[in-house]
A and B are shown apart, each in its own frame.
Chain A
């Protein structure tokens, strides 16, 4: 069965403005001229597949696009601890890959980092206002897939 398109709660222009406020909290891949904004959950299999595909074609994609990855929890996945571990890591991309792609048993810390907590909340707030209701939730030019 196909996926019904979820209603985007705000206009593309407003969505762009909201995304602008959390760009600094994103993990950024690539340096292309076009921006791709993606809300992902580290424990969501579809998000993992999405990330794997990005890295499979990273040469082409990273030249053409700048991909902003926003870590946003699916409640049922209970992934907040994973997200905070990635956000507080010295090299976020490395931690992201270890959790999402390598799927290694990691010793997750109980992160008590105000900066990461705030970033987590900011992303969740923007996601709620935009209407993010699936992962990966991909937006280009303020429009969701």
Chain B
């Protein structure tokens, strides 16, 4: 017996002797934490994205607060300017006025028109007016007669009216009477214990049923639910202890659970099939010897690879990192103490092996694979990989959440309404209009209003900023209620309205961030800040993914001392990612935390599978066996738990798609695609590449 096995045996005897104490201690800890845990899960990732983001920090450092912009999309029907619609819009404004958090509303009724009026009898005035206090007939006449002035608020067929609501906190429109068929863009989810309960009920019920069906016994269902419940509660509690002020996003917890669930599947499956040839207690020892090292390695990859996220300057990435570290370590500790102790109490007579015949069939088919097909597949994947890299490098902003609110609010710090500040704004207006000529419908700013007023005062004079009478402009801004729209203390506020079919908002945002050489421009609406934060995260995420891939490669090389194995591991883990990236690009699915979380779940699962598979091959492959025999044994020993674990997660995530919890549904959708890719790569590409390697030798 080797030193390693000897130590494992000592450990095994310790666990068996102390099994009651182990179960009691862990159960008491579980009970204590159940009664004392206070951490709440959040469904809203906005705050997590904002915290630690560069753009948000700059805003705070400049003593500004973030604002919220929400776009109401009102359905007007076939008669957009009917009396009914205008009356309803007036009522909506009246209702919005009563909401304290609302800072300003931008609609056809509040849109300011600079005008000049002269009765040629000595009365004249240059002023700004809105339609808000006009009569219904006047409003209808104005909308029909000067539609171009208001076109930014309407869809091209005029059936949809957009109303922009700017507020100090997100507005729950379900509590306000909106007299239209409408929807709101930019709504965020928040804490919801009921939703969390539904989510975990679905998760646990699904796992219970699937374990029972797979193994034809209720034991793995009970043990699986206990293991997952313990790991989840311990992870939440540990995270609350480490990061007491950071809420835990429900999706991040899902990653953590997905990472640890595979440990349970490998260990339980090992113990289950070990009982074909061993008694119950020996089966526990046999399971330890077969699974300890690969699980240690997969835990190492998860902790070091995904855990590296804790060093990123983003709270959301740190949160994922911490949770994966905690869940992996806790999962590892629970697996090789609590779970083994529990297993030692049970015995399975005639253990059912769901894949016994399938493994043989599968191995037979794969052993006779077509080399040309493999090569074409790998070449195609390589081409897609290169295209994705080129696309991402060329157009990184195409990857970030595509916002449909089409409004950007920003602040340019200044020392008030000065000529210097207006000149800077003039430069901004010229530059952005030159770059995004067809994408911007309107920009409201102190410069835009000052220019409009000045041109009405002196229509025959060529407009120049240096000729603006700032005293009058400041007075007019107060008189016509413009000041708060365009100034915030001494800073200038700009609101940029983009066209419906404009270039991706992220490209405009990135241009704004890079426009000012002094780096003084501050985005202040939450949607734009979120986009900026996500944009900055793309590079971090790519680096982390590359790091994990490198780590898997190194771990496999460390275990096998074989470069070909490392290459196979790398390829098999890259393939699902490449295909997923291609789907994201083709379908123009933007990067979001949901996509990110799904990718991490996939990488974690895929690396688990690769390490287990290659570890098994390296340790147990018999030189005299045929490809088919080796594959069959591998499929039974390793392929089956990979398949079972992935299928269970696949079905669980598929059910979550229908959970009516938007964040979770989206994660479910992406995870299903990725896990399918990963499963195909692990069960089809990995063994075939392995045979290819053996043949080439």
| A positions within 8 Å CB-CB of B | 1-5, 34, 36, 41, 44-47, 49-50, 53-54, 56-57, 60-61, 64-65, 74-77, 133-136, 138, 140-141, 143, 145
Contact = CB atoms under 8 A, between A and B. Distances in A.
Nearest to A5: B458
Given A64-B478, A140-B471, 20 more contacts: A2-B116, A2-B458, A3-B116, A3-B126, A4-B458, A45-B119, A49-B127, A53-B127, A74-B122, A74-B123, A76-B122, A135-B122, A136-B125, A140-B469, A140-B475, A141-B471, A143-B469, A143-B471, A145-B126, A145-B457
A133 B126 CA distance: 15
Contacts of A140: 469, 471-472, 475
A49 B129 CA distance: 11
A128 B545 CA distance: 79
Residue among A3, A36, A49 with the highest chain B CB neighbour number at 10 A: A3
B596 to A, nearest CB: 46
Contacts of A60: 478, 483
A105 B118 CA distance: 26
B459 A2 contact: yes
Given A4-B459, A4-B460, A44 B479 contact: no
A76 B515 CA distance: 55
B38 interface: no
Nearest to A61: B478
Contact of B480 (A41, A53, A133): A53
12 contacts: A1-B118, A1-B459, A2-B116, A3-B459, A4-B459, A46-B123, A74-B123, A77-B121, A135-B123, A135-B124, A140-B469, A140-B471
A3 B126 CA distance: 8
Contacts of B119: 45-46
A133 B120 CA distance: 11
B455 interface: yes
B482 to A, nearest CB: 11
Contact of B125 (A4, A46, A61, A74): A46
Contacts of A46: 117, 119, 123-125
A69 B456 CA distance: 23
Contact of A41 (B123, B126, B457): B123
A1 B116 contact: yes
B138 interface: no
B66 to A, nearest CB: 25
A64 B483 CA distance: 13
Contacts of A136: 125
A5 B117 CA distance: 13
A49 B125 contact: yes
B438 interface: no
Nearest to A48: B123
Interface string B88-116: 00000000000000000000000000001
Contacts of B480: 53
Residue among B125, B456, B481 with the highest chain A CB neighbour number at 10 A: B125
Contacts of A1: 116, 118, 459
Interface string B443-464: 0000000000001111111000
Contacts of B472: 138, 140, 143, 145
Contacts of B121: 74, 76-77
Q: Provide the main secondary structure of the chain A interface.
A: mixed
B487 to A, nearest CB: 12
A2 B457 CA distance: 7
Contacts of B461: 5
Closest 6 CB pairs of A and B: A2-B459, A74-B122, A46-B125, A46-B123, A140-B471, A44-B123
Residue among B121, B124, B480 with the highest chain A CB neighbour number at 10 A: B124
A11 B334 CA distance: 89
B117 to A, nearest CB: 6
B458 to A, nearest CB: 5
A3 B456 contact: yes
Contact of B123 (A45, A75, A141): A45
B469 A134 contact: no
Nearest to A4: B460
Interface string B361-385: 0000000000000000000000000
Interface in B114-147: 116-119, 121-127
Contacts of A56: 481
A47 B123 contact: yes
A140 B472 CA distance: 7
B510 to A, nearest CB: 37
A134 B124 contact: yes
A98 B483 CA distance: 29
B468 to A, nearest CB: 12
A81 B116 CA distance: 29
Contact of A3 (B118, B475, B479, B481): B118
Contacts of B459: 1-4
Contacts of A47: 123
Nearest to B470: A140
B124 A3 contact: yes
Contacts of B460: 4
Given A2-B126, A46-B119, A34 B471 contact: yes
Nearest to B456: A2
Contacts of A45: 119, 123
A46 B126 CA distance: 9
Contacts of A53: 127, 479-480
A114 B460 CA distance: 44
